[in-house]
């Protein structure tokens, strides 16, 4: 074994981690085969792709109804390979010269170094050489939007941290750009050094630079350090696939505006500034490897609690004492609780001994929604604001179109008009409720589902428009997802834009009836305080209004006996269409229909339960 980029990231999370992995210095000096290295790095890369496919809602829950991401990894492997291959093509166009890249795995450039008896190594995704210049390019299956959106605001004007010149993003200060607010600019720049958030991909590249520079120094080649330049290659969030195919496969030529599918982030300066940080982490790691006992530390940002990259030891070890239900971490949208020790946020509450919600003295609870949660747990009661729920239901305009999309957020755009990670619709279920409570599970339902990987979006749009001709209300749980898909389809299929945008404009979120929507309820005559309070809380919700939590509170419906049980399984089933026999595909086709139909029927059931309240 040796220390690679992936296990360096993990082992330097905190001082406990190496001990929990049971790592010792003597096992970190042995050789590591290319296959072992690639297996480790590939799993990390695939998790990055899955991380781009999902997001967290305001309650910190995965919005794609995913229970686990692991089963998506195999389904995503072909798309990860596509990202690397396309990156290599664009590198040749951008930089010229000669490149070694991941498609030729045994030709990957290897750098390794031995520091204090421990071996550190890294293979380079794309090693590009032009004359004496060497470009080290780390390919990430994220999009450039993560970097393009960094910046600051002054006098209502947005100033980006990075500016795109040609097909490369550069730090604004290195381009000689005028910095409108140096303090805000520096604050935005500092985000690139947060290795657990905005700087996580930067950190990977900076570690590679660390290995390269130590190898050059060990071989007395320090004079060559200035020949090396460091870039991230990422998917271009501005790229729109123009729809060209060869032999049935997309051809990712520049789009109609000249944008390439891959763009680059110049990180020469940032990775240079990262070097002393990485050196400090390496020194700390070596001390931990020599220690006979585990060094203790508090929970912190490095735990990445409720984030996609949460430490694997958080739940089984470090956070094992945190109650499964009604812990101090389950307060809704918690921005901090004032205590004699100051304002405590997130895991800081655990560090100060507040494990259970009720461990916190009631007088510390100032937020009215937190107080509602607290008292529901304390007294084992349900909180209901019937007047607000009544008013919300009364504002609905019929027919109600209970809509749920199933989508495939492919890293590489597959169809004309799509961008990287476009949530490409392959299925929808629609339950039409013509008047209050009048909706039959079977007779008033329609499910559209693609039978193969061919572009089915036009047929999907035609059916959706046909079924929603009568003006009514689009209703969904987390309706912003459905609205975003409708708007995307309207912009691609402009002949259907008017009816699609009518559906888009008339919407209601089922969550607003149980949680709240301040703007809505103020418009219905409630005060600001009343409008900002939740409408319903049962301790079974445990701080979340996801469908996974709300459905059991209001009905006996369950997904347990379904063949396809959640969003992950729906994506994987669709992604594996071409690997199935005809018989298996027919069975899975019916399973997808049943699953999606249950999603919209669940909305009908929850709404009816709220009426009965």
Quick check: is 300 in a domain? no
**Cβ–Cβ under 8 Å, residues 136 and 127:** yes
Give me the pLDDT at residue 200, please. Answer: 92
Q: Which of 244, 270, 290 is a domain's end point?
A: 290
**Cβ–Cβ under 8 Å, residues 215 and 113:** yes
Quick check: is 311 in a domain? no
Quick check: is 497 in a domain? yes
**Cβ–Cβ under 8 Å, residues 245 and 176:** no
346 CB-side CA count, 13 A: 13
Give me the pLDDT at residue 53, please. Answer: 59
Give me the pLDDT at residue 462, please. Answer: 97
Q: Domain holding 486: CATH number? A: 3.30.420
Give me the pLDDT at residue 41, please. Answer: 62
Residues of the chain with pLDDT under 50: 56-69, 105
Helix, strand, coil fractions of the chain, as percent rounded to 5: 45, 20, 35
Question: To the nearest 10°, the Cα dihedral for 87, 89, 95, 98?
Answer: 110
Give me the pLDDT at residue 47, please. Answer: 60
Is residue 231 located within the same domain as residue 253? yes
Quick check: is 312 in a domain? no
Give me the pLDDT at residue 59, please. Answer: 40
Quick check: is 299 in a domain? no
Give me the pLDDT at residue 434, please. Answer: 96
DSSP E strands, 452-578: 473-476, 507-509, 536-537
In the numeric block, the tokens 């004007």 are attached to 157
343 CB-side CA count, 13 A: 5
Is residue 461 located within the same domain as residue 392? yes
C-alpha to C-alpha distances, 611 to 51, 118, 392, 554, 606, nearest whole angstrom = 38, 66, 10, 11, 9
How far apart CA 481 and CA 466 sit, in angstroms, is 21
- In 3D, which of 299, 278, 126 has the Cα closest to residue 210? 278
Is residue 375 located within the same domain as residue 453? no
C-alpha to C-alpha distances, 261 to 44, 198, 201, 310, nearest whole angstrom = 22, 22, 19, 30
DSSP conformation letters of 219-255:
TT-GGGGGGEEEEEEEE-TT------EETTEE-----
Q: Which of 290, 307, 339 is a domain's end point?
A: 290
Give me the pLDDT at residue 128, please. Answer: 95
Is residue 599 located within the same domain as residue 550? yes
Helix (H) or strand (E) holding 135: strand 133-143
Quick check: is 309 in a domain? no
DSSP conformation letters of 25-75:
GGGGSS---HHHHHHHHHHHHHHHHHHHH--B-TTS-BTT--S-SGGGHHH
DSSP conformation letters of 423-450:
EEEEEEEEEEE-BTTB--TTTTEEEEE-
- 3-state secondary structure (DSSP) of residue 140: strand
Q: Which of 366, 383, 400 is a domain's end point?
A: 383
Quick check: is 234 in a domain? yes
- In 3D, which of 573, 566, 597 has the Cα closest to residue 61? 566
How far apart CA 307 and CA 323 sit, in angstroms, is 18
Which domain covers residue 572, as residue numbers? 387-612
Is residue 363 located within the same domain as residue 401? no
Is residue 72 located within the same domain as residue 180? yes
Is residue 358 located within the same domain as residue 393? no
Distance from the Cα of residue 338 to its chain's centroid? 30
User: Which residues on adjacent β-strands are paired with residue 130?
Assistant: 133
Is residue 372 located within the same domain as residue 392? no
Give me the pLDDT at residue 136, please. Answer: 97
Is residue 458 located within the same domain as residue 377? no
How far apart CA 449 and CA 365 sit, in angstroms, is 48
Distance from the Cα of residue 68 to its chain's centroid? 13
User: How many domains does the structure of the chain reveal?
Assistant: 3
Is residue 457 located within the same domain as residue 370? no
Is residue 166 located within the same domain as residue 273? yes
323 Cβ contact partners less than 8 Å away, ≥ 6 residues apart:
355, 356
How far apart CA 516 and CA 533 sit, in angstroms, is 7
User: Which residues on adjacent β-strands are paired with residue 449?
Assistant: 427
Quick check: is 314 in a domain? no
Is residue 358 located within the same domain as residue 452? no
177 Cβ contact partners less than 8 Å away, ≥ 6 residues apart:
163
Distance from the Cα of residue 576 to its chain's centroid? 22
Give me the pLDDT at residue 20, please. Answer: 87
């Amino acid at each position: 074994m040796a220390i690679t980029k992936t296990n360096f990231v993990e082992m330097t999370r905190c001082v406990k981690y190496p001990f929990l992995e049971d790592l010792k210095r003597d096992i970190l000096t042995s050789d590591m085969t290319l296959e072992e290295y690639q297996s480790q790095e590939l799993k990390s890369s695939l998790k990055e792709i899955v991380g781009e496919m999902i997001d967290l809602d305001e309650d910190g829950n995965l919005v794609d109804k995913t229970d686990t991401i692991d089963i998506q990894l195999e389904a995503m492997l072909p798309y990860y390979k596509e990202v690397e291959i396309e990156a290599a093509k664009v590198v040749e166009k951008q930089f010229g010269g000669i490149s070694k890249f991941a498609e030729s795995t045994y030709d990957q450039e290897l750098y390794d170094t031995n520091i204090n008896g421990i071996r550190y190594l890294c293979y380079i995704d794309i090693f590009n050489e032009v004359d004496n210049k060497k470009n080290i390019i780390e390919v990430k299956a994220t999009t450039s939007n993560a970097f393009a959106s960094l910046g600051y605001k002054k006098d209502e004007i947005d100033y980006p941290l990075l500016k795109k010149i040609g097909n490369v993003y550069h730090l604004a200060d290195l381009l000689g750009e005028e910095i409108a607010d140096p303090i805000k600019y520096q604050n935005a720049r500092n985000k690139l050094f947060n290795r657990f958030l905005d700087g996580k991909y930067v950190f990977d590249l900076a570690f590679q630079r660390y290995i390269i520079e130590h190898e050059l120094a060990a071989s007395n080649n320090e004079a060559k350090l200035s020949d090396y330049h460091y870039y991230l290659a990422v998917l271009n969030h501005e790229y729109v696939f123009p729809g060209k195919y060869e032999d049935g496969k997309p051809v990712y030529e520049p789009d109609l505006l000249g944008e390439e599918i891959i763009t680059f982030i110049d990180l020469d300066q940032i990775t240079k500034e990262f070097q002393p940080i990485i050196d400090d982490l390496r020194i700390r790691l070596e001390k931990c490897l020599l220690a006979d006992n585990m060094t203790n530390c508090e929970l912190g940002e490095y735990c990445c609690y409720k984030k996609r990259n949460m430490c694997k030891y958080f739940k089984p070890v470090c956070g094992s004492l945190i109650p499964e239900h009604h812990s101090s971490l389950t307060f809704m949208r918690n921005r901090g609780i004032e205590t004699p020790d100051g304002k405590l946020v997130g895991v800081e509450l655990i560090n100060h001994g507040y494990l259970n919600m009720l461990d916190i003295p009631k007088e510390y609870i100032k937020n009215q929604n937190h107080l509602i949660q607290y008292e529901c747990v304390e007294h084992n009661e349900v909180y209901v604001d019937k007047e607000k729920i009544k008013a919300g239901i009364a504002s609905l305009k019929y027919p109600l179109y209970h809509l749920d999309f199933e989508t495939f957020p492919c890293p590489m755009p597959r169809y004309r008009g799509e961008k990287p990670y476009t949530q490409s619709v392959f299925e929808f279920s629609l339950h039409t409720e013509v008047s209050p409570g009048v909706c039959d599970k079977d007779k008033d339902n329609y499910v559209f589902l693609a039978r193969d990987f061919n572009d089915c979006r036009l047929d999907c749009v035609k059916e959706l428009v046909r079924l929603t001709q009568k003006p009514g209300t689009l209703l969904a749980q987390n309706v912003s997802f459905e609205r975003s898909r409708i708007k995307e389809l309207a912009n691609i299929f402009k002949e259907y834009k008017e009816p699609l945008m009518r559906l888009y404009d008339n919407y209601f979120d089922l969550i607003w009836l149980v949680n709240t929507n301040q703007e809505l309820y103020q418009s219905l005559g409630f005060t600001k305080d009343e409008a900002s309070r939740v409408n319903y809380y049962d301790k079974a919700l445990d701080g979340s209004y996801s469908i996974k939590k709300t459905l059991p509170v209001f009905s006996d419906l369950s997904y347990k006996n379904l063949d396809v049980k959640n969003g992950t399984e729906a994506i994987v089933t669709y992604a594996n269409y071409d690997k199935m026999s005809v018989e298996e595909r027919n069975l899975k086709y019916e399973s997808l229909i049943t699953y999606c139909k249950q999603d919209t029927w669940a909305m009908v059931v929850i709404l009816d339960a709220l009426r009965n309240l």
